[in-house]
Chain A
């Protein structure tokens, strides 16, 4: 399971960066989404994957003594998913506006703000 996740995370990061480096604006958004998902999976993996051991304390005990599934990474991922959802929807609308105004999908043509004499 861990090995599968490691490969999946590597693929998500690699393809995310690759898509961001392409010239199309739509691919840029796809790249950002893949990268965000890769980061979320990484939190999940590095929080240690434990199967069938919920972090519930018996009423007689005071603390957990056995290995248990850490709930913190899941809370972190949930937060990160919600945030990236908001940011990605903003980015999609931005790209749509940019396409409408500049009439191009090519990121290399968005260079007027870099020129010395605009």
Chain B
């Protein structure tokens, strides 16, 4: 069904970003506008998901050019869910930023760039055109380049060099893949490509293109062996920026993988096995990396890598049940990872360091905060009935039915490593007695902040923790949603029909 309003999440973020540009030096006005606009975009995202869930897939043909010739925007349940998650994470980070990011950074355009980043994410989730997807990816990375370097500290610049290089390389590979795909199929519309690619006789070349896409998106979503840039850069910018990166930027790579490898390249035995092996190695290397680290944000960075493996595993098995697991995990992971980085920001403001060997005694001194922080930490491990548990249950069930027993071992090992890391973190940071740390001059502590800013830092964590609890305790709703998404991914005929029109009218 045609509905031009599905582009609203993109347009509204653009409007917000441009509006903020008019208040360049007036940071308090920027704070207010960002909070209001993020609430509005949350409303738009909820409307979009409701509309799509009730009315089926909605499309918009840009400029009235009919698919497959023009650029198509498609909102199916998967896209709408991702837009909603972006809005939730974006709102949490925007509110947190009003309290935690310094005025010096805000005066260099932090809020407008954050909104451009969210615009790019929404665009990437809603587009139905592969070259348009490339353009949205470029908007995302250029905005993230600015965010990762804003402030210009030494560690930030060093991390940014690695981040920028790997992302530009990934874009070049992605562009190469698009070039070959266009040469092969002569189309850029993803629904049209789905039909065209299935008819190509030169399967060898199709597999080459598929691998190029896998490498390009693999770098962006940090799967083994292409993840080394992530732990080297994600802990360098301020925590609010790490939160939006950790929550959403790697997940947009996973989204693209899920979309491309269900719609255009249906995994054959070779690709399926490759994805499963990569998933197992990603889980292992991320988990082992996390054990070794002492900086809290680096631990979380490695855990991002570890948990990307779970989603890739679901894609590799490629049954409806496994995809339900992967999508449930994706939904849970975006909320939890955003929250974890926000928590690390709060702990830094409380104590002035993130070295877990120096930290300690938080439970004794701040029992309410500790209880709050326990929710996302234990959701991450997947202690039932918290949110991570259900996703892993589906993944393990999915791999058991397909006889992938080794993969089950790796998934359990990954969960166990996560448990180990979180238990270590909990005992080191929260339970261990620690001496008072020497006061740092250049850190603005939580106590010294105005009450309004203190609330701005605590409220988003409470909201995200509540969302995590909802995902875990009311898992039924999320399972229904994931099941519908997985069914649509496994059988893309509804998607194709919504974009290209039914077969009878356009022969």
Contact = CB atoms under 8 A, between A and B. Distances in A.
Nearest to A32: B168
Contact of B152 (A83, A86, A101): A101
Contacts of B172: 16, 32, 35-36, 38-39
Interface in B277-296: 292-295
A47 B183 contact: yes
B165 interface: yes
A32 B164 CA distance: 10
Most A CB within 10 A of own CB, among B138, B165, B235, B292: B165
Contacts of A76: 131, 178, 182
Contact of A101 (B142, B157, B168, B188): B157
Interface SS majority for chain B: helix
Given A20-B169, A90-B142, A94-B161, A113 B235 contact: yes
Given A43-B182, A87-B138, A116 B168 contact: no
A95 B146 CA distance: 14
A113 to B, nearest CB: 5
A112 interface: yes
B152 A97 contact: yes
Contacts of A90: 142, 145-146, 164
B62 to A, nearest CB: 14
A46 B235 contact: no
- Categorize the interface residue count of chain B: 35 or more
B446 to A, nearest CB: 23
B169 A42 contact: no
A39 B176 contact: yes
A39 B175 CA distance: 6
B415 interface: no
Contact of A102 (B131, B154, B178, B183): B154
Interface string B143-160: 001100100101101111
A8 interface: no
B233 interface: yes
Interface of A: 16, 20, 25, 28, 32, 35-36, 38-40, 42-43, 45-48, 72-73, 76, 79-80, 83, 86-87, 90-91, 94-95, 97-98, 101-102, 107, 110, 112-114, 116-118
10 contacts: A16-B172, A39-B179, A76-B178, A80-B175, A90-B164, A94-B160, A101-B157, A110-B158, A113-B155, A113-B162
Of all A-B residue pairs in the complex, the 9 with the closest CB atoms, nearest first, are A46-B183, A43-B179, A39-B175, A42-B179, A35-B172, A110-B158, A83-B138, A98-B157, A113-B159
Interface of B: 131, 134-135, 138, 141-142, 145-146, 149, 152, 154-155, 157-162, 164-165, 168-169, 171-172, 175-176, 178-180, 182-183, 188, 231-233, 235-236, 292-295, 298
